[in-house]
Amino acid sequence: MTTSTLQQKENGRYLWFALLGLGFQPDAAASGLSKANIKHLNLGPNMFDKPNKDAFYIITVYLLKKLNPTRFHEAYRNCWPVLNHKA
């Protein structure tokens, strides 16, 4: 493995453990997805080794709600969740 690959895996582990330390619960987060999406969902230390739009949405929402739930609901009430991908 190259140095960049090892660094990416290490960063993935740091991100994952930081999310777990903040109280992120992967099973609860994945329960809101449809059955078709949950089959391809990859949450874990290597979730961003490949592009992973669903995991990005889940992690982004979790972190924004954790940071300031009231502001999140005010700012994103009309455009979240992203339903129309062509808009």
- 61-77: pLDDT as tens digits: 999 999 999 999 999 88
d(CA 23, CA 73): 20
Asked if residue 70 belongs to a domain, the reply is: yes
User: In which residue ranges of the chain is pLDDT below 50?
Assistant: none
Asked if residue 58 belongs to a domain, the reply is: yes
Write out the H or E segment, with its range, that includes residue 14: helix 3-21
Asked if residue 7 belongs to a domain, the reply is: yes
Confidence (pLDDT) at 45: 94
Asked if residue 28 belongs to a domain, the reply is: yes
- How many domains, the chain? 1
Asked if residue 69 belongs to a domain, the reply is: yes
Which token pair is 56? 């990005």
Domain with 38 in it: 3-76
pTM of the model: 0.79
